[in-house]
Amino acid sequence: MGRRNTCVARVNQNSTDGTANLNVRVVRLTRASPPSEEGFFTMTLLVERSDARAWTEEQMEVLFAEGFPTFITADLAVKEYIGRVREYFPHLDVMLVDVGDTPVATGWGVPISWWGDVADLPCSFADVLRRALEVHDAGVEANTFVICGAVVDPGRKGTGTATELIRALSSLGEAQGMTRVLAPLRPTRKHLYPLFSIEDYIPWVRDDGLPFDPWLRLHVRKVPESLPSLVRRRR
């Protein structure tokens, strides 16, 4: 394992088709890697619509190598809505691409109307899709962007790419005029512990007090108050 070096990530998004414009942004990241002459390396990621170009089957196989748990792909309620969602909101589906034109992460979301009442939060993934379609069909102005999916190339995990993907999606929603962002969290390692309930699993923490689950950990780092009532010390 190489030493931890400082990385610089630049995320840029240009648009000629109504997709949000993001200014070039520089953030400090760290990852384990062989040291370069300067002691850091540059990671440049471009953000573009997922349908802006044709991706090869091999690229998609690498990006989605880990697949999805069956309980997601087999949800009949989701299947009822997903076709229309893809038709109506392709501009809210983005890809992060490196300088070698390799897709390294992708994510998408939908617009809904939500005014901050916790009791009015969507109760499921299918409910998010249903409410997005209702907003579209009624011509109602949406004020909340719900991040519905986020996938990072398994080989890029631990590099800060996931954080940049969430930032890009949040900025996309903001640029579309939505003042709130919801990011429903599906703990990425919960399926490895099927004998534990979700209520038992969520509070698990590491020695540093951060969540055991890497996806929950990313969001707690980004927004520390995101799980205040759910995360408690447990080893």
Q: Has residue 169 been placed in a domain?
A: yes
Which residue range(s) make up the domain with 61? 48-184
Domain contains 216: no
Here the tokens at position 58 are 């091999």
Domain total of the chain: 1
Q: Is residue 108 part of a domain?
A: yes
Residue, of 227 and 87, whose pLDDT is higher: 87
What is the chain's mean pLDDT, rounded? 79
Token couple for 225: 């108050």
> Can you tell me the mean pLDDT for 157-163?
84
Token pair of 32 as six digits: 């384990």
Report the pLDDT averaged over residues 194-203: 90
Looking at per-residue confidence, does 178 or 224 come out higher? 178
39 or 90, which is more confident: 90
Per-residue model confidence as pLDDT tens digits over 213-226: 988 887 787 665 55
User: Where are the extended beta strands (E) located within the chain?
Assistant: 4-13, 22-32, 40-49, 93-97, 103-112, 144-152, 180-182
Task: Name 121's Cβ contacts closer than 8 Å, sequence gap at least 6.
Answer: 114, 182
Q: Which residues pair with 114 in a beta bridge?
A: none
Domain assignment present for 213:
no
- Residue recorded with tokens 């969602």: 85
Question: What is the average per-residue pLDDT within 150-158?
Answer: 89
Between CA 9 and CA 12, with CA 11 as vertex, the angle to 5 degrees is 145
CATH number of the domain to which 129 belongs: 3.40.630.30
- How many residues does the structure list for the chain? 235
Q: Name the residue type at position 158.
A: G
When pLDDT is averaged across residues 1-16 and rounded to a whole number, the result is: 46
Q: State how far the alpha carbon of 15 is from the alpha carbons of 47, 52, 170, 178, 190, in Å.
A: 10, 10, 16, 18, 37
**30, 77, 86, 130 from 127: Cα distances, Å:** 37, 9, 15, 5
Q: Do the domain assignments include residue 214?
A: no
**210 domain residue, yes or no:** no
